């Protein structure tokens, strides 16, 4: 078990060399990840797509623990988009069942590491069994403070923005009161700072309707590594890439 940043140095020679380059004073507060490539990983190995999703779940757990040890406060994982319902029914059902099983299995991880779980997306559109387990998990972890993990489930950024507008109208907010700060409070990520870094795996160069409003000044990192192969070394490289950039936010 990796207990803190220092213990990450025990991970191995190549990872250790990379870790020594990290500036602990420039760790991103919020990292978002588009976990892409599970199906291709499975196909390359002659396996069924389910095997890719299962191995991808291992990557998600490991990256969550590494992010925690590095001092990252918010980690948002894009697990299932509102467009993913278009996939074959058997694959969707397998994903929903796997998400449920992972919630059961990872309870101890959340408790031991003081991790709070939150959902980014339309939870009402999820199967009732999964929805109940998500609500239960969010409730028991609500007081956890070390890191917040946002699972983006049944999520689409355009719909999130439309829903935010509807909520503002329903509350009869005067137009003169609407600004960026207020609008952000009506998004799924209302209690989170905007991501500092977005990582997308598998080599695809797009953000796929993910956090469109929140990514305005986020640093983007695209890697050809498929998500099931994205582990500590690749994660460190992404953090180093982020730290080597100059973030000006429109300034000179």
Beta strands in the chain (DSSP E): 30-34, 74-81, 115-120, 147-155, 197-200, 219-222
- Contact between 59 and 17 under an 8 Å Cβ cutoff? The reply is no
Give backbone dihedrals phi and psi of 78, rounded to 5 degrees, phi first. -80, 100
Q: What pLDDT is stored for residue 251 in this prediction?
A: 72
Residue 214 reports pLDDT greater than 70: yes
Mean pLDDT of 2-13: 59
Residues belonging to the active site: 36, 84
Q: What pLDDT is stored for residue 16 in this prediction?
A: 84
Tokens 């209302």 belong to residue = 190
Q: What pLDDT is stored for residue 4 in this prediction?
A: 62
Other beta carbons within 10 angstroms of residue 204's beta carbon come to 13
- Rounded Cα distance between 248 and 39, Å, is 37
- Rounded Cα distance between 188 and 148, Å, is 14
Of 79, 76, 92, nearest in space to 35 by CA:
79
Residue 8 reports pLDDT greater than 90: no
Per-residue model confidence as pLDDT tens digits over 47-98: 999 999 999 999 999 999 999 999 999 999 999 999 999 999 999 999 999 9
Give backbone dihedrals phi and psi of 123, rounded to 5 degrees, phi first. -65, -25
Report DSSP state, residue 104: H
Average pLDDT score, the chain: 93
- Contact between 126 and 134 under an 8 Å Cβ cutoff? The reply is yes
- Rounded Cα distance between 126 and 166, Å, is 21
Confidence of residue 247 (pLDDT cuts 50, 70, 90): confident
Residue 110 reports pLDDT greater than 90: yes
Q: What pLDDT is stored for residue 236 in this prediction?
A: 96
Q: What pLDDT is stored for residue 1 in this prediction?
A: 38
Domain boundaries 26-155+195-242, CATH class: alpha beta
Domain ranges within the chain, ordered by starting residue: 26-155+195-242
Of 218, 219, 150, nearest in space to 187 by CA:
150
Q: What is the DSSP string of 174-204?
A: -GGG--HHHHHTTSTTTTSPPPSEEEE-TT-
- For residue 58, the number of C-alpha atoms closer than 13 Å in the C-beta half-sphere is 12
Query: At what angle are helices 89-105 and 49-70 packed, to 10 degrees?
Result: 40
Q: What pLDDT is stored for residue 5 in this prediction?
A: 61
What's the length of the chain?
252
Mean pLDDT of 214-224: 98
Mean pLDDT of 208-221: 98
Q: What pLDDT is stored for residue 63 in this prediction?
A: 96
- Rounded Cα distance between 48 and 156, Å, is 27
Question: Which pTM was predicted?
Answer: 0.94
- Contact between 32 and 218 under an 8 Å Cβ cutoff? The reply is yes
- Contact between 209 and 157 under an 8 Å Cβ cutoff? The reply is yes
Instruction: List alpha helices for 84-127, DSSP H.
Output: 89-105, 107-113
Per-residue model confidence as pLDDT tens digits over 154-164: 999 999 999 99
Which pair of structure tokens corresponds to residue 66? 């590494």
Per-residue model confidence as pLDDT tens digits over 133-187: 999 999 999 999 999 999 999 999 999 999 999 999 999 999 999 999 999 999 9
């Amino acid at each position: 078990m990796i207990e803190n940043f220092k213990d990450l140095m025990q991970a191995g020679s190549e990872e250790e060399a990379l870790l020594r380059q990290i500036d602990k004073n420039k760790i991103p507060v919020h990292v978002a990840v588009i976990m892409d490539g599970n199906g291709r990983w499975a196909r390359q190995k002659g396996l069924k797509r389910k095997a890719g999703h299962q191995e991808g779940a291992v990557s998600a757990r490991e990256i969550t623990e590494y992010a925690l040890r590095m001092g990252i406060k918010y980690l948002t994982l894009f697990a299932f988009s509102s467009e993913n319902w278009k996939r074959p029914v058997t694959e969707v059902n397998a994903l929903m069942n796997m998400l449920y099983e992972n919630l059961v299995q990872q309870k101890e991880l959340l408790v031991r590491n003081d991790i709070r779980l939150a959902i980014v997306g339309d939870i009402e559109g999820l199967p009732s069994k999964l929805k109940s387990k998500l609500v239960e998990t969010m409730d028991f972890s609500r007081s956890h403070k070390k890191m917040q993990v946002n699972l983006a489930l049944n999520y689409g950024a355009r719909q999130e923005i439309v829903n935010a507008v509807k909520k503002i109208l329903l509350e009869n907010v005067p137009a003169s009161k609407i600004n960026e700060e207020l609008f952000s409070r009506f998004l799924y990520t209302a209690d989170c700072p905007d991501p500092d870094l977005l990582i997308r795996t598998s080599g695809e160069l797009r953000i796929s309707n993910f956090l469109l409003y929140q990514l305005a000044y986020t640093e983007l990192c695209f890697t050809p590594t498929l998500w099931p192969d994205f582990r500590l070394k690749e994660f460190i490289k992404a953090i180093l890439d982020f730290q080597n950039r100059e973030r000006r936010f429109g300034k000179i």
